[in-house]
Amino acid sequence: MTDMTKSLSLHLGLIALLLSLNWLLPSYHHGNLARIMVLAIYAIGYNVAFGYTGLLSLGHAMFFAAGMYGMALTVRHLGWSPAPALIAGILSGFVLSVIVGLLALRTSGVAFMIVTLMFAQSVFLIILYFTEYTRGDEGFVIQQAQRVMGGIDLSEAHNRYLAALLGFGVCLMLTWFLVGHPFGKTLIAIRENEERARMLGYNVYLHKLGAVVISGTISATAGALYGLLFGYAGATFATVQYSIFPLLWVLLGGAGTLLGPFVGTLFMFYLIDFTSEITTAYMLVAGVALVLLTLFAPQGFMGELRKRALGWLP
């Protein structure tokens, strides 16, 4: 088997496994896994910028929130049905990521991190400012009747699971295709040695912009799906904490690996779920994980696996 067929079967295999789990899991974990898959889409989006292009953003919550509110506000105030609302959410993320990319990519390194943090903070504050429409911190519920897409009730557990899996599978395979494509390979080259890539004739700025837009749009897709499938939109999802989460998931699972985002999200979700039963200070786990990962395992789980055993992992 060539490396490519090996990796293709691995990724399709994961999707098949997740599909079969729809009928096997007890309801608590079934619900969790649906949530994890949607959050993993967010991590996949983040990984395109951070893992593959080396752009460390501290503001991806703005894209997640753009997707969520682009979807939820059109449902709530314009009475749109789920399908066009979902597209509105994804488009909001697309537009926002073009604007943010054009501006923020004039900086790099630490300045890029702070600029993205500031933009995300502005988006969060804007959501609070328009509390009249967004209900601010409190947020608002999307009614069950508003979550029926083409006759399918997305609030029903199995439909919700399958919709989450569909979104996850599409985004996973999209990035699988991306990293094999010359564009994706150029992103990796930029991550590894930006000046060298430029002196091979690549337009580094444009490639990075492409990465931010793909990353932001996938993140917005996650936000829109999350709001739709779980029936709620709130400003919490635009806070700094929600910009830190995908960083944490991707670091844990392995930055610049395709399965890393899913593995990291899965692991962290259950870790926090478990800790929050014991203490309200469950974010302590996130803090400790961040410090330990930075210090001892910057490659993350899948990164270490690739380094030690499976060199062909994309």
Partner 1 sequence: MRPVKYVLAVKGLSKVYGGLRAVNGVDMLIPEGQVRALIGPNGAGKTTLVGLITGRITPSFGAVSFLDQDVSNLPAYRRISMGMGYTFQITSIFAKLSLHENVALAARRRGGSVSQMDSAVRAVLEEVGLSERIDQLAGDLSYGHQRLLEIAMGLVQKPKLLILDEPTQGLSSGEVSAFKALIRNLAGNTTVLLIEHNMDVVMAIADFITVLNFGEVLAEGTPDEIHANPAVQSAYLGGGDAGT
Partner 2 sequence: MEFGPYLLLASMEGAVTAAVLALTAVGLSLVFGVMRVVNVAHGEFFMLGAVIAWYVASTVGGHPALGFVAAMIIAPLFVGGLAALADMVFLKRIAYDPERTIVATIGLLYIIQQVTLMTYGPDARPVVPPFNTRLALPWFEFGENGFEIYWPWGLSITSYKLFVIVAAGVILLGVWGMMTRSKIGLIMRATQLDGEMAQAFGIPVERVYAMVFGIGCGLAAMAAVLIVPIQQAHYLMGGDPLLLSFIVVIIGGLGSLPGTVIAALLIGMSDGIISVFFTPTLAKILATLAVALVLVFRPQGLFGTREHD
CB of 182 to partner 1, least distance (A): 5
The alpha carbons of the chain give a radius of gyration, in whole angstroms, of 19
Residue 276 binds: one of partner 2, partner 1, none (C-beta under 5 to 8 A by kind): none
What is the rounded CA–CA span in Å between residue 158 and residue 156? Answer: 6
In one-letter notation, the amino acid at residue 3 is D
Residue 201 binds: one of partner 1, partner 2, none (C-beta under 5 to 8 A by kind): partner 1
Secondary structure of residue 233 in the 3-state scheme: strand
Cβ proximity to partner 1: between 132 and 308 the closer is: 308
Distance of CA 281 to the CA centre of its chain: 24
- The residue among 213, 202, 204 whose CA lies nearest residue 178 is 213
Cβ proximity to partner 1: between 26 and 182 the closer is: 182
177-206 residues in contact with partner 1 (CB under 8 A) are: 182, 185-186, 188-189, 192-193, 195-204
What is the rounded CA–CA span in Å between residue 72 and residue 80? Answer: 9
Residue 128 binds: one of partner 2, partner 1, none (C-beta under 5 to 8 A by kind): partner 2
Residue 290 binds: one of partner 1, partner 2, none (C-beta under 5 to 8 A by kind): partner 2
In one-letter notation, the amino acid at residue 57 is S
Burial class (CB in 10 A: 0-12, 13-18, 19+), 48: buried
Contacting residues toward partner 2, per CB under 8 A: 56, 58, 103-104, 106-107, 109-111, 113-115, 117-119, 121-122, 125-126, 128-129, 244, 247, 251, 279-284, 286-295, 298
Cβ proximity to partner 2: between 145 and 295 the closer is: 295
Element holding 140 (H helix, E strand): strand 140-141
The residues binding partner 1 (CB under 8 A) are: 182, 185-186, 188-189, 192-193, 195-204
